Amino acid sequence: MEEENQVENEEVIEETQAEEVKAEEAPVEEAKEDSKDDRKMYPAKCSECGSDCEVPFEPEEGKPVKCRECFMKSRPKKRFNNNNNNNNRGFDRGPREMHDTKCTKCGKQCQVPFKPTPGKDVLCRECFSNNRN
């Protein structure tokens, strides 16, 4: 009889421990879900399509509110060029306008990507690179 009581007590202890483990795991899962979107959401009506939506800010009278779909549609598209130079900053200026001039150092005819200012020295590519060294 004592053995039966001891076995029952062990079963009860095991069940209690299993329930405690489940209880400890549940809040962790809920906390993970809450951390994904911990911002307070406010009910609103989209000013473009008229659908009811939730936004992460309190809508103000007279200011338009957009649902997620309308907001994504109105965002400007990012443009990427396939050029390997990283100087374009996401836009394409087209080909540079080149200007004919005469190098003030060697006197050779050359082209430069800017309009030469009278009275200022203009160097050809060779003289410019030699001058930098």
The pLDDT score that the predictor gives to residue 13 is: 59
Strand pairing report for 42-45 and 109-112: unpaired
pTM: 0.32
The pLDDT score that the predictor gives to residue 51 is: 92
Those residues of the chain that have pLDDT short of 50 are 26-35
pLDDT digits 0-9 by tens, 92-117: 677 888 999 999 999 999 998 889 99
The pLDDT score that the predictor gives to residue 22 is: 52
Amino acid identity at 10: E
The pLDDT score that the predictor gives to residue 88 is: 55
The pLDDT score that the predictor gives to residue 29 is: 43
Map residue 20 onto helix, strand or coil.
helix
**Which CA distances in Å does 43 have to 13, 40, 48, 72, 82?**
48, 10, 15, 18, 42
